[in-house]
Structure 1
């Protein structure tokens, strides 16, 4: 890409990275702030633990979706066409 395109992509990436970093810092600090200022003592998970659990859950969902999609395409590839041969894609 040219210089203007490169500058634009860099500017957009900086904005996205900053917003994501602020959000992650907020999520990581909220449990600590809840225990210190609100007097909630029965909250057992820290912010980083919440991020890890959510990340693992999302990754598991993506893995399951990928397996289901692969199984769907395997079914299509194993179908026979009208001439009796296997379909090739």
Structure 2
């Protein structure tokens, strides 16, 4: 993936979220989508929030040369709509 094209990266992450929703894997993604929608956030914006949580985990794993951490991803999903980087 070309790092200089954030549009392609964003599209790929949103596609990953769609795949997680379709597969219901992890189930927390669908739960989070429903929770965000119940807060009055549109479906599309809710998916963007989830994509943010996923991208934080992906890029954190790459940056720190570690495996994807499903527990940390789960925690970031739990904290939405607060963004994972808002505590930094």
- TM-score, normalised by the number of residues in structure 1: 0.30
Which of these two proteins has the greater Rg computed from alpha carbons? 1
